[in-house]
Amino acid sequence: MVKKKRYNKLILWFRKEGAWIDLENLYWIGFLGAAAAILFAWLQSRRVLAFSEGSDAMKKIASAIRSGANAYLSHQYATVAKVFVVVFILLLVMAFGTGGAMLSKFTPFAFLTGGIWSMLAGLVGMKIATNSNARTAQAASESLNKGLRVAFSSGSVMGFTVVGLGMLDITIWFFLLRYAFGINDPVSLGNIMVMNGMGASFMALFARVGGGIYTKAADVGADLVGKVEAGIPEDDPRNPATIADNVGDNVGDVAGMGADLYESYVGSILATFALGAVGGYGWGGLLLPVALAVCGIICSIIGSFLVKTKENATQQSLLKSLRTGTYTAAVLSAILAAPLTYFILDGHMGVYVAILCGLIGGCAIGYFTEYYTSDTYKPTQELAAASETGSATIIIGGISLGLKSTMASILIVAAAVIVSFYAAGGSQSFNLGLYGIGIAAVGMLSTLGITLATDAYGPVADNAGGIAEMSGLPEAVRERTDALDSLGNTTAATGKGFAIGSASLTALALLVSYVSIVQEKTPETLDLSLTNPLMLVGLFIGAMLTFVFSAFTMSAVQKAAQSIVVEVRRQFKEIAGIMEYKADPDYASCVSLCTKGALHEMVVPALLAIIVPLATGLVLGPTGVVGLLGGVSVTGFAMAVFMSNAGGAWDNAKKYIEGGHHGGKGSECHKAAVVGDTVGDPFKDTSGPSLNILIKLCSTVSIVFSGLILSFNLMNLL
């Protein structure tokens, strides 16, 4: 009884006239979460850099990879900066030329900060990755656990830098808008904040597409000529494309992935901001996603300390060690989210169910992605067996596996959407249900720090294996790095599955935010029924955009890879003594070709994500845009899952054969698997991941240009 009285007194102390005291003044916890994440990332980087880079040969190779990655990113950022300036000027004209009627005056500047923070997140991740690869190889020469810890710690720097900078960006803008510019209405503040994600989306698409083209052009070129034609091992120093391949792992799978998930993280929180205010939760609706994200940061830090393994560990035990960390973080977040929701939303625990849907959905998508792509399960093992009858059957089998795998991810997301909507009060108020969907996306991404760490770990382990091969380390070391690399393939696949799942929920939340913002700007009620021809045509255009975008990104890899194939063949033919180790290949020429090819080919697909939604809106009006967003979200989600899982399965089927099954390395089955893996490379590392950003960028572009579309569209003239 005494304890109950004390509890009631505590409740009364926190409450004031039915609401929690000073909710709008608790956003400083965002700074706390950002500081914790950035500090942990800094400590992990110090820990990684304390390890030795190994021999002079290892240092030389690592330096070449670092130089190539730095050169590419410098050229990429210079190219993107030109586009950013043009868009920034356009946004300035829209905002200040109309006195803020068409666009918030804050949006152009938020566009810049979002792009800069996203760029910085990718740059930090790439820097630590290129400084970790040789250190991981050297640590693996001492023990498997040491190699795992160095690679994972490197991935942690990427993961926690992304969430730290994302939280810092959001919190700074909230305090500027709320206290410096005096925006006291939570609905207005939420609608302005949701527009701030365009810069991050913009940068993410260029980083993902450009990095994806680079890494797969080098990988495809190296595999087709080196492994298939010349019959030399992967990462063989005689292959001129080897260094370019290792560079690509960093600019595509680290910098690109970092920018991608930075944008998802920020986008989900900002969309929920807007939905919470509209749903009637006021400042509490805005505070909960921030508090949940901060809670996830703390839980992710705790989970990171649990990642360790024993010497001679199997692939399954290595995977278990990473899963222990991620699942522990998710469980802790689920436990702590309950009191957070109760106190912030004044007992509306249906929203907590929505958060659980996001957390469980994220873990479930990760599990099924692992099931379809890991060589410890039947689907990938059966795919490897298809190599017995040649490359054609393994390609057909991979396509079938990828298509089949979409069922699990789509059903999980569908269940999460329905349960979140009704649990949050969708049957009573449509807006409350929509807030539930938004907070589910935040819940899924709340433990992004450790989830991204397991993903960014993969390229470091892959590079470590390459350095071990090129520097001539003993076979025992290569076996350890191969084990870490194979694990990295699985974690990369599950990371992509997670990114796609979170993208679908975030895109849905952004779509709803777009409808809400448009409805506030016009007295007319939008007709969003499927019988409306504008809606229907928009759906078709959105579906078309998915396929055309995928075609452009696949074609970009094909063109860039062809130039690498020609160059590698030329060097094998013209430079005498390469195959006998008497002459060094010209690595720099392949790095240069990949850089030029990626930068040239990335522009068109990136611009499609901006031009098509804008053009659709100017012709069909806001209703057509809603249709487009629905079409691209659904088809983009399904296509991304298909491509990522098919590519991951082909990759691990090859690794399974290299492990000694179906004749092992150099066999006809292995050659067939290499062809399958080569086809899958642009699937899983270029087109598939880029679709994540496409579906979100279309939404943010539509939100930012909603005022322009309402004022000027062809339907208004009819």
More confident residue, 656 or 221: 656
| Cα distance between residue 87 and residue 92, in whole Å | 9
pLDDT of residue 3: 46
Instruction: Give the pLDDT mean for 552-556.
Output: 89
Q: Are 169 and 266 in contact (CB under 8 A)?
A: yes
Is residue 382 predicted with pLDDT exceeding 90?
Answer: yes
Of residues 214, 212, 221, 211, the one with CA closest to residue 242: 221
* Residues ≥6 apart with Cβ < 8 Å to 437: 275, 354, 417, 420, 421, 424, 505, 508, 509, 512
Tokens of 343: 């106190």
Would you say residue 351 has pLDDT above 60? yes
**pLDDT at 230 exceeding the cut of 80:** no
- Under 8 Å CB-to-CB from 184, ≥6 apart: which residues? 178
What's residue 18's pLDDT? 42
Straight-line distance from the first to the last Cα atom of the chain, in angstroms, rounded to the nearest whole number: 72
pLDDT tens profile 151-162 = 888 888 888 998
| Residue 22: per-residue pLDDT | 58
**Of 560, 224, 639, 564, which Cα lies nearest the Cα of 391?**
224
Residue 17, pLDDT above cutoff 50? no
The token duo for 72 is: 């590419």
Helix ranges (DSSP H) in 386-429: 391-423
Token representation of residue 284: 């509490």
At residue 16, φ and ψ (nearest 5 deg) are -150, 110
> Are the CB atoms for 41 and 449 separated by under 8 Å?
no
Q: What percent of the chain is modeled with pLDDT above 70?
A: 95
- 27-31, 152-156, 495-499: range with lowest mean pLDDT: 495-499
SS3 582: coil
List, for residues 317-336, the tens digit of each pLDDT value: 777 777 788 888 889 999 99
93-121 b/e with 16+ CB inside 10 Å = b? ebbeeeeeebbbbbbbbbbbebbbbbbbb
Q: What are the tokens at 299?
A: 């839980």
pLDDT, tens digit (0-9, with 9 covering 90-100), for 561-585: 888 888 888 888 888 888 887 888 8
Tell me if 103 sits within 8 A of 95, measured CB to CB.
Answer: yes
What are 84's two structure tokens?
């950013």
Phi, psi of 637 (to 5 degrees): -60, -50
Quote the CA–CA distance of 560 and 242 in Å, as a whole number.
15
* Alpha-carbon span 544 to 585, nearest angstrom: 43
Q: How far is residue 304's CA from residue 320's CA, in Å, rounded to a whole number?
A: 13
Question: Across residues 171-185, what is the average pLDDT?
Answer: 86
Task: Report which residue type is found at 448.
Answer: L
Our CA angle for 664, 666, 670, nearest 5°, is 60
Give the Cα separation of 115 and 113 in Å (integer). Answer: 5
| 347 or 23, which is more confident | 347
Has residue 531 got a pLDDT over 60? yes
Chain centre to alpha carbon of residue 510: 17
Q: What is the pLDDT of residues 664-681, one digit of tens each?
A: 888 889 889 988 988 888
pTM of the predicted structure, to 2 decimals = 0.84
Rounded to whole angstroms, the Cα distance separating 453 from 431 reads: 34
| Per-residue model confidence as pLDDT tens digits over 74-89 | 888 888 888 888 888 9
**Integer CA distances (angstroms), 482 to 59, 140, 178, in order:** 20, 10, 52
In this prediction, residue 294 carries a pLDDT of 92
Calpha distance 358→365 (Å, rounded): 10
What pLDDT is stored for residue 551 in this prediction?
92
Give the pLDDT confidence score for residue 122 in this predicted structure.
82
Exposed/middle/buried for residue 508 (C-beta within 10 Å: 0-12, 13-18, 19+): buried
- Nearest one of 662, 512, 652 to 190, comparing CA atoms: 512
Q: What is the DSSP string of 156-222?
A: HHHHHHHHHHHHHHHHHHHHIIIIIS----HHHHHHHHHGGGHHHHHHHHHHHHHHHHHHHHHHHHH
Rounded-to-integer distance, Cα 305 and Cα 83, Å? 41
How far does CA 323 lie from the centroid of its chain? 19
Judge whether 220 and 89 are in contact, CB under 8 Å.
no
Among residues 114, 146, 143, 117, which one has the least CA distance to residue 48?
146
Supply the pLDDT for residue 314.
Answer: 63
Residue 21 has pLDDT above 60, yes or no: no
Residue 487 backbone phi and psi in degrees, to 5: -60, -40
Lowest mean pLDDT of 341-350, 479-488, 597-606, name the range. 479-488
Amino acid at 259: A
CA 165 – CA 33 distance, rounded (Å)? 10
CA 558, 564, 567, 572 dihedral sign is negative
Taking 60 as the threshold, does the pLDDT of residue 637 lie above it? yes
- Determine the 3-state secondary structure of 376 from DSSP: coil
What is the three-class DSSP state of 527? coil
Selection from 91, 134, 40, 224 nearest residue 708 by Cα: 91
DSSP state of 23: G
Closest CA relative to residue 639, chosen from 680, 683, 693, 699:
683
DSSP letter string, 358-370 = HHHHHHHHHHHHH
CA-to-CA distance for 268 and 288, rounded, in angstroms?
A: 12
The pLDDT assigned to 10 comes to 41
Least confident of 32-41, 565-574, 625-634, 641-650: 565-574
Confidence bin at 41 (pLDDT 50/70/90): very high
Count of helix runs (H) and strand runs (E) in the chain: 24, 2
Torsion angles phi and psi, residue 709, rounded to 5: -65, -40
Mean pLDDT across 606-619: 89
Q: What is the predicted pLDDT for the residue at 24? A: 63
Confidence at 387, pLDDT banded by 50, 70, 90 = very high
pLDDT band at residue 315 using 50, 70 and 90 as cut-offs = low
Query: Cα separation of 370 and 226, whole Å?
Result: 29
Q: Per mean pLDDT, which range of 128-137, 408-417, 511-520 is the poorest?
A: 511-520
Q: Is the pLDDT of residue 714 over 90?
A: no
- Is residue 2 very low, low, confident or very high in pLDDT (cuts 50, 70, 90)? very low
What's the pLDDT at 718? Answer: 66
Give the least confident one: 274-278, 396-400, 495-499, 673-677. 495-499
Which of these, 62, 31, 67, 36, lies nearest to 49 by C-alpha position? 62
Mean pLDDT over 542-562 rounds to 90
* The pLDDT of residue 9 is above 60: no
Q: If you average pLDDT over residues 259-277, what whole number do you get? A: 81
Query: What is the rounded average pLDDT of the residues 433-460?
Result: 84
